[in-house]
A = this chain, B = another copy of it.
Amino acid sequence: MRPYARPKVTLPIPQEDRIMTRVSIVGASGYVGGELLRLLLWHPEVTVVQATSGRNAGRYLYQVHPNLRGRTSLQFVHPDKLEPCDLLFLALPHGEAARAMQRYTGLAERIIDCSADFRLTDPAAYKRWYGEDHPAPEWLGRFVYGLPEVSREALRGAQYASGVGCNATASNLALLPLVRAGLIDTSKPVLIEVKVGSSEGGASSTDSSHHPERAGAVRSFAPVGHRHTAEIEQVTCLSNPHLSITSVELVRGALATAHAFAARPIADKDLWQAYRGFAKEQPFVRVVKERQGIYRYPEPKILAGSNFADLGFALDPESGRIVSICAIDNLMKGAAGSAVQCMNLMLGFEETMGLEFPGLHPV
């Protein structure tokens, strides 16, 4: 009997001579690529064999990802020198993965594509939101949507998984407990405001990412028309979710605040039931709702580097408005963390392996 609480540790026995899964990362110089490297270099079951970058070929990883200094002697290789491996992570700009899928599937049996190329299952939705025909529609049906919270069983042993959109993920996780419990009046609008940090924009500097212009911003990035709407429609089956994205002063993190109206008169306990029911099957979902204290609702601040999605809610009993709140680290649960969680499921590892970091406080 162990009378004292302690987090469950499930790391396997590392042995110099045992077989590790060989993974490579294509497009490893961006922020998602860097986060994949951070996770995979410490993952007990895999070995990172190659990290590609056209621009940075020959440079050490730490010259681009300074946190990895002294942790690995790997260098970026040119994409043309990509070799066969067991599993490939693709972290490329929009459209590039779809156009070269033939090549990548020839190099690895399993692929996780972090881009938006294979998230939507419906080519018509793709065309509507991305403004062109899908470059490789025949592949669409072969990719499992890479959010374990919605596709866990399909991901187990799967060959191909898509990544997830960070805004979509925060929105979907905010809405799913309500959707699954049938609590939303679908005749009324569902509105989601996502507040995001600057890392969402990627690693390339732009006029609007220039620090004097971006610092302290509360910037209406996409009041209407954001592409992640399509992923929310697909995952929640809500017919017209209204999405709005605002950039705030933060590097990592996203907070989705979803507003929906209750299908019937409800009380807090109905919501507690819905959220707890959803969370209890999800190793990375926590319900955050306190009557007092500082952290009464989910906050991205304490999630940087962690794979948690914290969910909370509030109810206006008079109007029946439900406010559902989800906080994530956009580079983790909103990108690389979910991708590694997918990998764990695809390869039969413990789902949480390599993703145990609980976040920092204060930070």
- Residues of A whose CB lies within 8 Å of any CB of B are 2, 4-7, 9-11, 13-14, 16, 20, 22, 31, 34, 38, 41-42, 44, 47-49, 63, 65-74, 188-189, 191, 193, 195, 197-199, 201, 203-220, 223-225, 240, 242, 244, 246, 248-253, 255, 257, 259, 261, 286, 288, 290, 293-306, 308, 310, 312, 314-316, 319, 321, 323, 325, 327, 356-363
Q: Which of B42, B209, B303 is A211 in contact with, Cβ under 8 Å? A: B209
What chain B residues lie within 8 Å of A213 (beta carbons)? 294, 362
Q: Which of B206, B301, B306 is A216 in contact with, Cβ under 8 Å? A: B301
Within the complex, the shortest CB–CB distance from A219 to chain B, in Å, comes to: 6
Instruction: Please provide the 10 A-B residue pairs with the shortest distance between their CB atoms, ordered closest to farther.
Output: A212-B362, A205-B210, A249-B249, A223-B314, A223-B323, A224-B316, A220-B297, A211-B214, A67-B359, A198-B211
A-B contact pairs, 16 of them (CB 8 A): A6-B41, A7-B41, A11-B14, A13-B13, A38-B360, A63-B293, A66-B361, A67-B302, A67-B359, A201-B212, A205-B205, A215-B249, A220-B314, A248-B249, A248-B250, A252-B360
Main secondary structure of the interface of A (DSSP, over half): loop
Q: Which of B49, B212, B299 is A198 in contact with, Cβ under 8 Å? A: B212
Q: Are B250 and A208 touching (Cβ within 8 A)?
A: no
What chain B residues lie within 8 Å of A63 (beta carbons)? 290, 293
Which residue of B is nearest A302, CB measured? B67
Which residue of B is nearest A315, CB measured? B224
Q: Are B248 and A31 touching (Cβ within 8 A)?
A: no
CA distance A201 to B215 in the complex (A): 14
Q: Are B220 and A2 touching (Cβ within 8 A)?
A: no
Which residue of B is nearest A288, CB measured? B69
CA distance A203 to B206 in the complex (A): 12
Q: Which of B216, B286, B312, B358 is A220 in contact with, Cβ under 8 Å? A: B312
What chain B residues lie within 8 Å of A250 (beta carbons)? 216, 218, 248-249
Also in contact, A42 and B4, with CB within 8 A (given A212-B198, A242-B316, A295-B66): no
CA distance A314 to B154 in the complex (A): 39
Q: Are A246 and B257 touching (Cβ within 8 A)?
A: yes
Q: Are B321 and A251 touching (Cβ within 8 A)?
A: no
Most buried by B among A199, A294, A304: A294
CA distance A191 to B190 in the complex (A): 10
Q: Are B252 and A362 touching (Cβ within 8 A)?
A: yes
Which residue of B is nearest A16, CB measured? B2
What chain B residues lie within 8 Å of A363 (beta carbons)? 216, 251-252, 304-305
Q: Are A216 and B249 touching (Cβ within 8 A)?
A: yes
Q: Are A248 and B195 touching (Cβ within 8 A)?
A: yes
Known interface pairs A211-B251, A220-B297; 12 further A-B residue pairs with C-beta atoms within 8 A, sorted by A's residue number: A9-B42, A34-B361, A66-B295, A67-B359, A70-B308, A210-B211, A215-B215, A220-B255, A225-B314, A252-B363, A304-B304, A304-B360
